[in-house]
Amino acid sequence: MSCQHCCGANLQFDIDNANNDLKRYLKKGPKKMTRMLVDALKKEDIKNLSLLDIGGGIGPIPLELISKGLQKITDVDASQGYISVATAELKKRKLSHLANYHLGDFVALSNQIETHDIVTLDKVICCYPDVHELLKTSLSKANQYYGLVYPQAHILSRIVVGFLNFKLKLKKNPFRTFIHDPKLVHDTITSAGFQKIYSGKTLLSWQIHLYKKEAS
């Protein structure tokens, strides 16, 4: 990710957005696509496993999975606002001892991040220009499970992304969103030794997939 794009992400996902997301989460729970990924993970035996949540926002995935016995949580996010809100919420719940936070571009920070049993990217690869590098690097950190949520690749989603990017350009924000080829995404994941164990979609916007590493 370029420095400009990373700085743009910090502007796009600021403290006000983070606070609004937390209020919504506390009132209604995770958004539908996140809930679908969480529910798929809850069906697996994840007790005592570790979670690397890339671009985790306010942290709905770890907050929902802690009750299932997660042993350790690591979050990497390009937004200072979201990290501030996420850490405050964990502190409020007396769960800070379980989590580590890293601010910045995950790919650039990857040498500082150890492997985890579960890696999740909820609405993240659509915010990253070099999807191959992000997938390759994040897959290298996944020991057992790899879950992601990203846009469906159809004409409506491309129109929406084009409109969003036009608005960002008008605001002179260098951040951009992307529609990445689902086949490229799937092939990259399976070539790393994972097989899909869950697949779902929301009505128009998102696709949700969970992969598990094949036994060697």
Q: What is the CATH number of the domain that holds 13?
A: 3.40.50.150
- Written as one letter, the residue type at 37 is L
Q: Give the sign of the dihedral formed by CA 7, CA 135, CA 118, CA 147.
A: positive
Task: Write phi, then psi, for 10 (nearest 5 degrees).
Answer: -65, -35
H-state helical runs in 76-153: 80-92, 106-109, 131-139
Across residues 80-86, what is the average pLDDT?
Answer: 93
**Position 151 pLDDT exceeds 80:** yes
**Position 38 pLDDT exceeds 90:** yes
More confident residue, 149 or 215: 149
**Position 2 pLDDT exceeds 50:** no
Nearest-angstrom CA–CA distance, 39 and 173? 35
More confident residue, 178 or 108: 108
Q: Which domain holds residue 28?
A: 3-213
Q: Domain count of the chain?
A: 1
* pTM for this model (two decimals): 0.90
More confident residue, 181 or 189: 189
**Position 26 pLDDT exceeds 60:** yes
Strands (DSSP E) found in the chain: 50-54, 72-77, 99-103, 116-122, 142-151, 194-201, 206-213
What pLDDT was estimated at residue 195?
97
What pLDDT was estimated at residue 51?
98
